[in-house]
């Protein structure tokens, strides 16, 4: 069952790299904050690298001016997420989160079977807006699409 508007985000740990690998609890990440979290099927993949992440990089300051934090997540390891962020000139403050085993993705009910492409289980392309850990907006793309999870669309909703 997929998460829906009004649901509390599940408590799971994610990872990122700062001074080494850092484990983040989703409650600590979302509680008391306004956050747009967008997920991509894979770092360094075409649509994710050419459109999805660059859109949030380009509009990062607009989200921040509204008091909204921005986080990118993929079912990749934290080293890949760090390298991808560096290659995309991600600004300080845009969180590059690794859901290495897909635990958060599964808990959200937003997993994608990409095994036909040699990628195993990944996250569907989606974006959500949460206030204090509760989902206020949820936009999940149809397979092969990139529209409703874009930075521009999410800005129009928050």
Residues 84 and 98: their CA atoms lie apart, in Å, by: 11
Biggest alpha carbon distance in the chain?
41
Active-site entry in 48, 57, 75, 151: 48
For residue 11, CA distances in Å to 68, 95, 109 come to: 20, 18, 13
Is 72 an active-site residue? no
Helical (H) or strand (E) element with 85: helix 78-87
Q: Which residues are tagged catalytic?
A: 48
């Amino acid at each position: 069952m997929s998460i829906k508007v009004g649901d509390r985000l599940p408590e799971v740990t994610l990872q990122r790299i700062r001074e080494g690998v850092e484990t983040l609890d989703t409650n600590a990440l979302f509680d008391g904050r306004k956050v747009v979290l967008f997920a991509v099927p894979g770092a360094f993949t075409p649509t994710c690298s050419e459109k999805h992440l660059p859109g949030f990089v380009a509009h990062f300051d607009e989200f921040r001016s509204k008091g909204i934090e921005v986080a990118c997540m993929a079912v990749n390891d934290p080293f890949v997420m760090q390298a991808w962020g560096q290659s995309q000139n991600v600004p300080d403050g845009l969180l590059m989160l690794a859901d290495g085993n897909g635990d958060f993705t599964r808990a959200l009910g937003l997993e994608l079977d990409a095994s036909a492409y040699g990628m195993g289980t990944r996250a569907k392309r989606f974006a959500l807006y949460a206030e204090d850990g509760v989902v206020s907006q949820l936009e999940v793309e149809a397979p092969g699409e990139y529209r409703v999870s874009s930075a521009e669309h999410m800005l129009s909703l928050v």
